[in-house]
Each structure stands twice: as structure tokens, then as C-alpha cells.
Amino acid sequence: MEQNELFAKRIVMRPSDEKTSLVEVKKDVVYKTSDRGDLKMDVYYPKGSECSKGMPAVILIHGDGPWHFLQTIKDSGQYVSWGQLLAASGLIAVTFTHRSTERFSKLDEAVRDVEDALAYIRESGEQLGIARERLGIWVCSAGGPVGLPTALRNKAGDIRCVAALYAIMDLWSARAMLPDLDEQTLRAASARAALEEAPANLPPLLVAKAGADRADLNTTIDDFVLTASKQNVSLDYYLHPDGRHAFDLWDDDLRSKQIINHTVAFFQNHLLEANSGS
């Protein structure tokens, strides 16, 4: 598939045109300036929502790749689809661009971008219409090492739930291919290590695994799920037995749609319930 075709591809369960018409978008909000220029976010709102009161928000953290692809990834079909779907479901959704890790050699830069995006949302919540104390995190693929440890080590208590779809949970299994990463960096990038180090009041988690994905990636998910179980963490776990990596884009089948539905409901349950007073 050509890059332009991949960029345009939408998720297999996107909102109808009627529901999309009920979504508003604030585009290209600059949250920081880097050596790659301005880094931007888009904020999706339910149309007509009373954002002056502040609404819960889901922050979507994308995977990795070369910078020429990532620099506009928030405008790709996948992230536009998820932004519209979440906003049509009564939540604010934030998509943003972080820099490439360049095969994890610059992982720290991408992690700082995620931290700075979260800091911007916390500082500018009132202007953005976001309830800063009611945030959800969504990650996929190589967004795992970039975003999950930050979400799980969160001390502010404002991240109420975290969802990870076909995500790399740590880099130890790929250590042979990443010889320049030392033990400290590997541990810092590990969602499993963050789980072990995190306080007892971890937010509820949702994890989805693609059965036909790479074995080494799925091993990291298995290890994470086992650790979460041992620690009695609230965890919703979904397996797509035949699903490929990025099944929300590639596998137009019932199981993909079920997992997408479960993910949206997960955020609604933990963020909108909080909105009503829990």
C-alpha cells in the first residue's frame, strides 16, 4: 500500500456522516516548539457541548515512524476517525504529534513531547474546555514505550484510565536489535516496570492484543497482563485471535468492531461517570 493510501485509511468502525456533523474540531493548536518546528494538537468536541464547564478528554498517543510521516499523523484517517468517534460519543479527544524516536535512539525526545503535551493540556484546560482532572490516555503500537510509562507513573491523579491497543509494552525483547539502549533506558521505557513501581491506586486499564501480530510484541503484552493480574489491577483484556497489527485499520470484522466499541465504552464509563460526581 502506498503511503498516501495508508495515510487516508479510516478505522473500520467510524461514526456516520450524521454523527460526524455533530463534531467540532479546533485544529493546529501549538503546544511546544522543537528542533522540528512547532508541534501541534487537534481537539475534537461534541458539537454544542458546554465546554466552559470543562469536559473529560481522551489524549491519543500515536506510534513511531520516520518524521516525514509522523509530522502530520494527527491528520491521518486513523486519528481523525478516532477523534471523531470519541467526540461523537460525548468526550473530548486530543490528537497530537510527537517527534520520531528514530528507532528508539531519541526516545527521550518523544517522551518529553508527550509530557509537554500533557502539561499544556493541564495548564490550558480552561481555554480548551477540558476538565484537567479527568483525563484518559489511549496508545497504540510503538506509542507504548513513548506514552504508557508516563501515564502509569502519573502522580497528579488526573489520569483516570488508560487504554493500550496492540502496544509494545517494553523494549527488553528487542534488546538485541537495540544495543545502544542501556538498562536504565529500557526500564524507563517499560510499561511493565512502571506497573511494578506505580502506587497502589493505578487507574483502570484496557489492553487489546492482536493474535496475528509479531510474537515478540505479543510477549510484552502477555507479560504486562500477567503482572497486572498479580497486582490486582483493574484490567479489561481483549484478544482479537486473528487480528493483525493495527486491526482497527486492517481487519474489517466483528471482533475489531467489538474491541473498538469496548474501548469507547471504557472511556465513557471511567470519564463520564467521574463527570457526574465520583
Which has more pLDDT, 172 or 42? 42
Distance (Å, rounded) from C-alpha 76 to C-alpha 3?
11
240, three cell numbers? 482479537
Residue with cell string 481487519: 251
Total number of domains in the chain: 1
List the CATH number of the domain containing 197. Answer: 3.40.50.1820
Distance (Å, rounded) from C-alpha 229 to C-alpha 136?
21
The stretch 173-178 carries a mean pLDDT of: 71
| pTM confidence score | 0.94
- Of 63, 270, 276, 26, nearest to 158 by C-alpha is 270
Alpha helices, H only, the chain? 3-8, 17-20, 67-70, 77-88, 107-123, 125-128, 143-152, 183-188, 191-197, 215-230, 247-250, 254-267, 273-275
Least confident of 19-23, 131-135, 254-258: 19-23
Question: For the segment 82-123, what is each residue's pLDDT rounded down to a tens digit?
Answer: 999 999 999 999 999 999 999 898 999 999 999 999 999 999
Question: What is the domain range of residue 21?
Answer: 3-275
Question: For the segment 17-43, what is each residue's pLDDT rounded down to a tens digit?
Answer: 888 888 999 999 999 999 999 999 999
pLDDT reported for residue 276: 45
pLDDT reported for residue 277: 45
Residue with cell string 479527544: 93
pLDDT reported for residue 39: 98
pLDDT reported for residue 176: 64
pLDDT reported for residue 213: 97
